Structure 1
Amino acid sequence: MSTPAPPGLADALAAVVADMRAAATELATVLDAEHAALTAADVLALDHAGNRKQALMQALELHEAERRQLQSMAPASAEPTGWSEVLRLLALCQERNLRNGALVGQRLTQVRRALAVLTGEPEPGTYGRGGGLEPSARVQMRARA
């Protein structure tokens, strides 16, 4: 026979899940703003988005810890109301964050190439299949010419 849930537990769990849903929704919006800032090279907007993103991630971590604690006190049952929506939103945030990370990687590569051209230094190599440092394709092409 299972023990009944403490009074108010379901409401507390629903409130935490609602807070997580709100934070994840805002995070998705902030990630879109971050993408726009990256695309426009708007440093101030990028800084603001980064700060907001960090605050939302911290809030989500706190909510998740609280949700786990409450869930551990609940009898084994179905997932809390709204939980599948939170998971969907978090997956969306992950996709957007990966998209933004790829854009940052592209920009970083462009900056490194521009610096290599300006300084006359060869571009840094990449790690090859064997784990050793290999020159980049651009450096290899110069060597063949």
Structure 2
Amino acid sequence: MKNLILVATMAISTVGFAQNKEKKEVPTVVNEAFQKEYPNTKVDWNIEKDSFEAEFKMNGKNASADYDKAGHKLAIEIAIKETEMPAKALAYIATTYPNKKIKETAKITDDKNVVTYEAEVKIDGKDMDLIFDVSGKFLKLLKG
């Protein structure tokens, strides 16, 4: 019986170790790129399928920056007040999704300096992101 418990414990430990070993780390080049642009900034990293997301505070606002594995910043997203959204975007949401409350809003700037705005709204029980251009024109709907 003791041997069975010992073997079971070792098997569980081995599986746990293997899972930790497979956990991806943020590449040094990515972390260095972030620190170069945002020195002395506390960051929490999320590892996504093809990118690394840095979550941090910038000027007191929630922000996130996405980097590829080579350390190239793909985009930065900064939380904004709903009133900072383009008026046309707010009108679109009010008309298209009446009685839906906007949960979060953000301004996104990609690596080509293209600015878009994002509004998170719960639609059919799911968080969805509505994406707008700088003039407030609706571009697309994404799962949140």
TM-score (normalizing by structure 2): 0.29
The structure with more helix, counted as a fraction of residues: 1
TM-score (normalizing by structure 1): 0.29
Radius of gyration: which is bigger?
Answer: 1
- Choose between structure 1 and 2 for higher RCO, CA contacts under 8 A separated by at least 6 residues: 1
The structure with more strand, counted as a fraction of residues: 2
